Structure 1
Amino acid sequence: MSNGIAGKVVVITGASSGLGEATARHLAALGARVVLGARRGDRLQALVEDIRQAGGEAVHAVTDVTSKAQVQALVAAGREAFGRIDVIVNNAGLMAIAPLQQLRSDEWDRMIDINIKGVLYGIAAVLPLFEQQGGGHVINISSVAGLKVYAPGGTVYSGTKFAVRAISEGLRQEMAGKVRVTSIEPGAVQSELPLGSGDAASRAEVEAFYQQQAIPADAVAQAIAYAIGQPAAVAINEVVLRPTVQDF
């Protein structure tokens, strides 16, 4: 299978549902060996069993990306199982939509911890390995909200996703010629992301928007596969994808 994906070892955070789960299934079907992290161990185990029954290779480790040690342990588990790491997909994310004046600082902290620090912990866990191996690929999931601010309500969320794009671009410059870097920026995609808002009114608005417009998570999985499958000399640095009907 010469698709540029078969045999590669891919770490995926937030793999128990949504984009992470779809990406795990899609890449495993293309021959990747997947290393799956999320907080819900029962769902991870079920996903690993599904992939193995379909003939794929997968391992998992319960992982909260706000813990640097747990992210490092996830990467270590993949390396122990498969001998190397070729790609990390920093996918875990939280979207807590609410107007700033509600002062939901706990939600702000959680978004910063998951969406920004979780990405940084993923990068930190793989960079030494990639340098030892002489190559690797970091894929960070940003958002169209990282291209323009979603307000009112999404100001802090947009801030975290702008940060993911900035981190991705800085990493690309620093590691040019050594590590490929891709920022994926989806619009509304079917996932649990709309469930993150503590403000009932904002949550209802977001859920209605997603019900009307969201595209399947597999659309993002295919974009990720496209980036991974390129020849080593080619880096897909940025992919923006939206539902055709989405104007934001």
Structure 2
Amino acid sequence: MQIRHKPLREQVIVITGASSGIGLATARAAARRGARVILAARNGAALDDIAHDIQERGGEARAVVTDVSRRADVEALAAEAVRAYGGFDTWVNNAGLSIFGRLEEVSDEDHRRLFDVNFWGIVYGSTVALPQLKKRGGALINLGSIASDLAFPIQGMYCASKHAIKGFTDALRMELQEEGAPVSVTLIKPASIDTPFPEHARNYMARAPKLPPPVYDPADVAEAILYAAEHGPRDLYVGGGGKVMSSLRKRVPSVTDWMGATAMSRTQKAAGPAKPDRDGALYAAGRDGTVRGASPHHVMRSTYTQASINPVLTGILLAGATAAAAALLRRSGRA
């Protein structure tokens, strides 16, 4: 069955983890482009403020307090979307968090909680959303990571959860294709993104956590997600640095093992000491309401991602550059 995606201005979009970071950036960008957005997260006060701000700017948004690790909460989120709008066209499974610490030091309880949020949150979101998406057609978008393709120390169980998300997402896509369901399934793979991700992580280290460079703007991830909502690609990387590392992992895995062992532990530790409260948002909602984090590194926009989601523009630019180069060579020849 052919999959047809509506323009964003005609869509209802459900976004989990919408109270900060990538989810918040995506919700605001979607609302600016005319989509009706349903915001889900644990922090009800932050969600209400965000929904009010979107409405003040002429958009339409609803807030639904949701803990994605509970299937009943996710079912209630879908039911509210059906009650308010008759359904939804895109479902974005974005909620997730991390733990900074060596695998042997992290408690089993914390490891299980991380999987409850990161992996089971996406399983619940996907399986709850699919009955509606199959009826209407649309897009299911899961947030993986470059950690879906490669692993690194200090965030070992986070990497494991993102590997699991990739396996689940790929298998689900195949089953839907075999069934002929009118639903696209996209896995988004961001590199390091400047969000409150380190602040929301549970920290076992003596120093504050940080993300390794290069670090990219959350707007790049939001644009990739909204592109997927309209076009339904299979995978999208956000950040050329992440794409390079993923490709390197496939071709020379021993090199990325060496890089992880020699550099990644160091680059995930900030200069300052850890804060007294090290629990982050693992068990309770954190301080939400902001898109950007406090990365000490230069934050850049991803030319690679822009090229991936704007192939026509990229073709025009390449054609123009080729023509300019040819003209320059001709002039040089005449000279």
Match of 1:187 among 184, 191, 196: 191
Q: In the alignment, does 2:256 pair up with 1:237? A: no
* Cα 1:69–1:190 shift into 2, 3 Å: same
- Superposed, which structure 2 residues align to 1:111-190 within 5 Å? 111-133=114-136, 135-151=137-153, 153-176=154-177, 177-178=180-181, 179-190=183-194
**Greater C-alpha radius of gyration:** 2
**TM-score, L = length of structure 2:** 0.67
| Conserved? CA contact 1:213–1:243, under 8 Å | no
One-letter identity of the residue aligned with 1:217: P
* Cα 1:128–1:149 shift into 2, 3 Å: same
State the 1:197 CA deviation: 2.9
Q: In the alignment, does 2:8 pair up with 1:5? A: yes
Runs of 4+ in 1 over 3 A off after TM superposition: 243-248
One-letter identity of the residue aligned with 2:195: S
Counterpart-to-counterpart distance in 2, 1:67 and 1:77: 16
Q: Percent identity, aligned pairs only?
A: 36
Match of 2:112 among 104, 109, 112: 109
Unaligned runs of 5+ in 2: 246-335
Which residue in 2 is equivalent to 1:100?
A: 103
One-letter identity of the residue aligned with 2:16: T
Residues 164-203 of structure 1: CA deviation (Å, up to 9, x unaligned): 11111111111124210000010111112212032134x6
Counterpart-to-counterpart distance in 2, 1:117 and 1:23: 22
Alpha-carbon RMSD: 2.0
Q: In the alignment, does 2:90 pair up with 1:87? A: yes
Secondary structure at 1:64's aligned position in 2?
Answer: coil
| Conserved? CA contact 1:213–1:246, under 8 Å | no
Residues 26-51 of structure 1: CA deviation (Å, up to 9, x unaligned): 01111111011000111101110111
Unaligned runs of 5+ in 1: none
One-letter identity of the residue aligned with 2:142: N
Q: In the alignment, does 2:23 pair up with 1:26? A: no
Counterpart-to-counterpart distance in 2, 1:246 and 1:128: 33
Residues 97-116 of structure 1: CA deviation (Å, up to 9, x unaligned): 21112142222111110011
